[in-house]
Amino acid sequence: MEKNGGEEVIQLLDHETEDESINIDKNVTGRNPNNDTGCCSGTDKQLLVSKLFYLFFFSAFGCVAPYLALYFKQIFISPRQLGIIVSVRSFVQFIFAPILSSLAERYNKRLLVILIAVLAYTACYVTIPFLPSDEKPPACRSKATPKQDSDDIPLNTSTPLSSLSKLNEISMSVNPPRSDEGEDYYYLPWSLFYAPPVDKKKSERNHNSVKLSVTDVNKHLSDTSPLYLSILLVVTIGYIFGSPAQTLADIATLQSLGSGRTHEYGRQALFGSIGYGLVSFIVGASVSELKMQNPCSGSMDTNYFPCFICFGVLMIICFFVSTGFRFRVSENDNSKKNESPSDTKSKRNITFESVVFIVVVFFCGSASGFIGTFLLWHIHELGGPQLLFSFVSLFNSSAEVFIYHISHRLVTALGYCRVIYLGLICYGIRFFYYSYCEKPWLFLPIELIHGITSAAVWSAFVYYVSNDAGNTTTLQGVVSGVYGGLGYAAGGLVGGILVHELGTSAAFLMFGEACLVVLCLFILTNIIGEKRAKENVNSTSESETDKENKD
């Protein structure tokens, strides 16, 4: 599950009217809400419940979320199949979270629904490692030890050999390699850059660690495999019923804060990021020495079974914490009834700049989904150890927490457009770096800019939306769903197909090039928009001057 704690705030502000937030029942909170002024204050019981919920909820996902792709890789799930699982998960969450939350609010069953949601997540992830996984791909059944020619296999890709050879034949005839490249480079016809070289000597040295890294239908489960279909079914059902958990927790938190303190939501949700980072590192480092033999390749793989058990334990604690939530019955929102037709029309007046902005949001969500799904997969193919995966998760969360602390000052100093520019540039840097870097431990330094591509970019989106006076309400709901729902799903699905067909290096390379295109489009749109705004101001001032002269 992706950590989008701040995203839900924007979507939830539309569910509660201002009058409802101001008149919080003191019998629910037990104290005056203004007593809690700090991130760690325990004077407000309801805010303490929210802090503990975010802590245990995201700590639980920190046990499995970073390493789920690696576990699926060990049981022979292909990149395309992994992308389908991620996309279905995100899309189901995008559809059912608002539906079930609205139904729970309508029938005043929000506490019951959030408890069911927590149990659904628990059952979903605890069930996965117990699914029968004795099924093996055809290559394992035909040969006890698959034999491959290391000279023909790119070290750090998952590319089918037949597809790669066909691509080379076409591309080399159109774009012959430079004289200093030799035959170790391959070139994608649609790519702006040459892909990384194939180090044949290094491939031979690491032959054992990349035995099954080639995406071949014979080395992965089929799309009709009972194991793959069972995982897909369990994840789908689990996320249908579990999707409203965070949404309802956010509603309870915002009700406790009141309208004058909604900006303090981040202080409550911050416990989620802290828990996610620390637990993912501790659990990941703990299982780094737990090994089990791969039934197909014979290599020693990390045993991720304890991660699922820790998830179940933390979620059970989260379940008991959730019983402390107190939801207030929402009254009918009269603001919609009193809304004039002119106001409704203005809110539906979507500009071209808003459409381009949504495209940028969609791409950033896709980029986040692709990195979150296949970054550790890529590092694993390079021979990275389990301890490194734990450090990557820790660096990501630390950078995210730090940027969230300074995001307000950053956006105020640079402006939201420049922060989005910076975020897209950093996304491009990350993609190109991932594509060309071949040393697993050298991935750690680049993870320090994760905070810019996540926390800073999301904060800029929030400010961008708040400054669009005509479409604020519309964009608030759309941005959250597009980024964490449709965007993340598209990133997992498209990324899975690219990794399956072209390999991880080429997939990161193509995402980096797409990032440059989106950046140029956004800059050009803003330049045109600024010129148009200046022209409108000048024409308005001229018309006012002419009117004064006539008078």
Give the tens place of pLDDT for each residue, 133-190.
777 776 676 544 444 443 443 333 444 443 444 444 444 444 444 444 444 444 444 4
Percent of the chain residues past pLDDT 70, beyond the cut: 67
Between 311 and 35, residue with greater pLDDT: 311
pLDDT at 466: 65
Distance CA 47, CA 53 (A): 10
Least confident of 184-188, 283-287, 329-333, 419-423: 184-188
pLDDT at 510: 93
pLDDT confidence band for 535 (50 / 70 / 90)? confident
Whether 537 shows a pLDDT value over 60: the answer reads yes
Q: 301 has which bridge partners?
A: 292
pLDDT at 15: 43
- Mean pLDDT over 416-420 rounds to 89
Q: Which fold has domain 46-134+223-329?
A: Growth Hormone; Chain: A; (1.20.1250)
**Token pair for 545:** 């001057």
Q: In the chain, how long is the greatest CA-to-CA distance?
A: 95
pLDDT at 209: 35
Which ranges in the chain are annotated with CATH 1.20.1250.20?
46-134+223-329, 349-540
Q: Judge whether 351 and 464 are in contact, CB under 8 Å.
A: no
- What contacts 345, CB < 8 A, 6 or more positions away? none
Q: Is 0.95 surpassed by the pTM of this model? A: no
Write down the residue that tokens 């919920």 correspond to: 53
Whether 127 shows a pLDDT value over 90: the answer reads yes
Between 359 and 213, residue with greater pLDDT: 359
pLDDT at 30: 38
- Mean pLDDT over 392-414 rounds to 86
Least confident of 16-25, 130-139, 360-369: 16-25
DSSP state of 454: I
Write down the residue that tokens 């994760």 correspond to: 450
Between 380 and 294, residue with greater pLDDT: 380
Average pLDDT, the chain: 75
Whether 460 shows a pLDDT value over 80: the answer reads yes
Whether 520 shows a pLDDT value over 90: the answer reads yes
- In one-letter notation, the amino acid at residue 312 is G
pLDDT confidence band for 297 (50 / 70 / 90)? low
Least confident of 179-193, 200-214, 477-491, 515-529: 200-214
DSSP class per residue in 354-389: HHHHHHHHHHHHHHHHHHHHHHHHHHHHTT--HHHH
Whether 353 shows a pLDDT value over 50: the answer reads yes
pLDDT at 210: 33
Least confident of 28-32, 358-362, 473-477, 483-487: 28-32
Distance CA 398, CA 105 (A): 35
**Token pair for 35:** 């007593």
Q: Would you call 405 exposed, middle or buried from its count of C-beta atoms within 10 A (0-12, 13-18, 19+)?
A: middle
Torsion 56-60-63-67 (CA) sign? negative
pLDDT at 177: 46
- H/E stretch holding 300 reads strand 300-302
pLDDT at 4: 54
- Mean pLDDT over 352-370 rounds to 89
Place domain 349-540 in its CATH homologous superfamily.
Answer: MFS general substrate transporter like domains (1.20.1250.20)
